[in-house]
Amino acid sequence: MAKKKISIDKIEVGMFIEADVRDAVKGKGATPSYGKNVLLLGKGTLVTSQNQVRRLKEAGLNEVTIDTSKGKDSAGGRVEQGPVKMKEKPKAKPPGGRKTFFRDEVQVARKIRGASVKIVKDFMGNAAQGASIDGEKVALASKTLAGSVFRNVDALLSLTALKDYSEHTYTHSVNVCCLTLAIAYAWGVTEEEAGIIGVGGLLHDIGKSKIPLSVLDKPGPLTDDERKVIMSHPLFGEEILKSMDNVPEEAFYITGQHHEQVSGKGYPRGMSGADMHPWAKMAAVADVYDALTSARPYKPGLPPHVALRVIFDGKGIDFDEAVVDTFIKQLGIYPVGSFVKLNTEEMGVVMEVNPDDAMRPKVGVIFTQYGKRRPSPFVVDLYKEYKDRGEENARSIAGADDPRNFKINVEDHLDVSG
Ligand SMILES: [Fe+2]
Ligand SMILES: [Fe+2]
């Protein structure tokens, strides 16, 4: 079955109606004497006459659902994937095996990421001008990102620690996409499902293209009216997605629901966790994590371990519990970009997470045990040391700190930027 929602003005003879169509306007349209909610065409009807087409067009509806496997297709519209067959519970442990080495994948991932940022920039520019957006281009970008995640999730995940302040909105969209994909991967979705999820991730903030930059980037506190405008961006986003060709239904939910909270205190609709789409719950966690760790004109970015703490504290209130647990398991206790102190008193930046042991990543040591800055950092593989020397004699992480206290910009030390 291939369900698709199309604009009512695209209905034609030969299309197969998938859901009941009822008159939306009382005293208007084809059935003035009956009024609102009268059944015009039942589920499972093939449109056979121009008369039916006219009746449908006069019924005051915006959209109608057709089944393209049983009748004629239409250009445009949104493809409905049917109910999501989500596993209720995530995998106990994120998938361990990696198909490619981190060093290799990160080179590929960096190119894919750069291309995705450009695509987001293009479509947001188009959306701002009311021009159409190429849904297939977005779908292809998403598929490519999902492919990298399924080869070696750590590569794209580590790149999300890089923020580009001048292109913040575009980088943010790609980061949220990658973080959501990483959660979904750890949860156990298929690569095909990940391709759909990624479309939602890339498009999630597209509604912001309708908000003036003076409001969006305002450094000071917002007025109530400005806040209301910003809080409408998920709804603006839904409108834009409706106008696009062949956008999967789930992308629509991710865009519309990424600021909802499981407690029902989110926006724009105040939906409860039970009503939220599971993939929107993943995007909601990814969105807040990237926002917290990013510096903005009005705030510095939080270190990853502090941002993780905030997410953890919001478990079951702001965020879905199982999604938070999956996220933390996937990201590691000390995600890439964390500034850590070792048991030797040396300090450094987490450069690569070990998927088999979250406590033993690779660390680029920047400060000696005496607090002296090293002329050049050297990389210690804590897991390898532990295996080679045993627990007693190996370096290990003693805790994390805020790199700003040591005048360190962690991004300068991530060996992933090229
Ligand atoms: Fe948003
Ligand atoms: Fe966002």
Question: Tens digit of pLDDT for each residue in 70-118?
Answer: 888 876 666 654 444 455 567 666 676 678 887 788 889 999 999 999 9
Kindly write down the DSSP assignment for every residue of 66-113, as one continuous string.
EETTTS---SS-EEE--S----SS--SS-----SS-HHHHHHHHHHHH
pTM over 0.85: no
As beta bridge partners, residue 4 has: 66, 79
Closest ligand, as measured to the CA of 230: 1
pLDDT score at 170:
94
Strands 339-342 and 397-401 turn out to be antiparallel
C-alpha 232 – ligand 2 centre gap (Å): 13
pLDDT score at 29:
47
C-alpha 187 – ligand 2 centre gap (Å): 21
C-alpha 16 – ligand 2 centre gap (Å): 37
Are 177 and 291 in contact, with CB atoms under 8 Å apart? no
- 159-171 pLDDT, tens digit per residue, is 898 887 778 889 9
C-alpha 402 – ligand 1 centre gap (Å): 27
C-alpha 333 – ligand 1 centre gap (Å): 26
Are 311 and 331 in contact, with CB atoms under 8 Å apart? no
Please tell me the least confidently modeled range out of 41-55, 108-122, 213-227, 386-400: 41-55
Average pLDDT over residues 347-372: 89
Cis peptide before 268 (omega within 30 of 0): yes
Q: Which domains, ranges and CATH numbers included, belong to the chain?
A: 3-75 (3.90.105), 102-331 (1.10.3210.10), 339-413 (no CATH)
C-alpha 172 – ligand 2 centre gap (Å): 7
Alpha carbons 73 and 245: distance in angstroms, whole number:
12
- Both tokens of residue 133? 């957006």
- Both tokens of residue 73? 């297709």
Alpha carbons 266 and 275: distance in angstroms, whole number:
12
More confident residue, 355 or 55: 55
- 188-231 pLDDT, tens digit per residue, is 999 999 999 999 999 999 999 999 989 988 888 899 999 999 99
C-alpha 258 – ligand 2 centre gap (Å): 8
Res. 33: pLDDT tops 70: no
Average pLDDT of the chain is 87
pLDDT score at 147:
97
C-alpha 97 – ligand 2 centre gap (Å): 30
Closest ligand, as measured to the CA of 292: 2
Closest ligand, as measured to the CA of 291: 2
C-alpha 176 – ligand 2 centre gap (Å): 7
pLDDT score at 372:
93
C-alpha 255 – ligand 2 centre gap (Å): 9
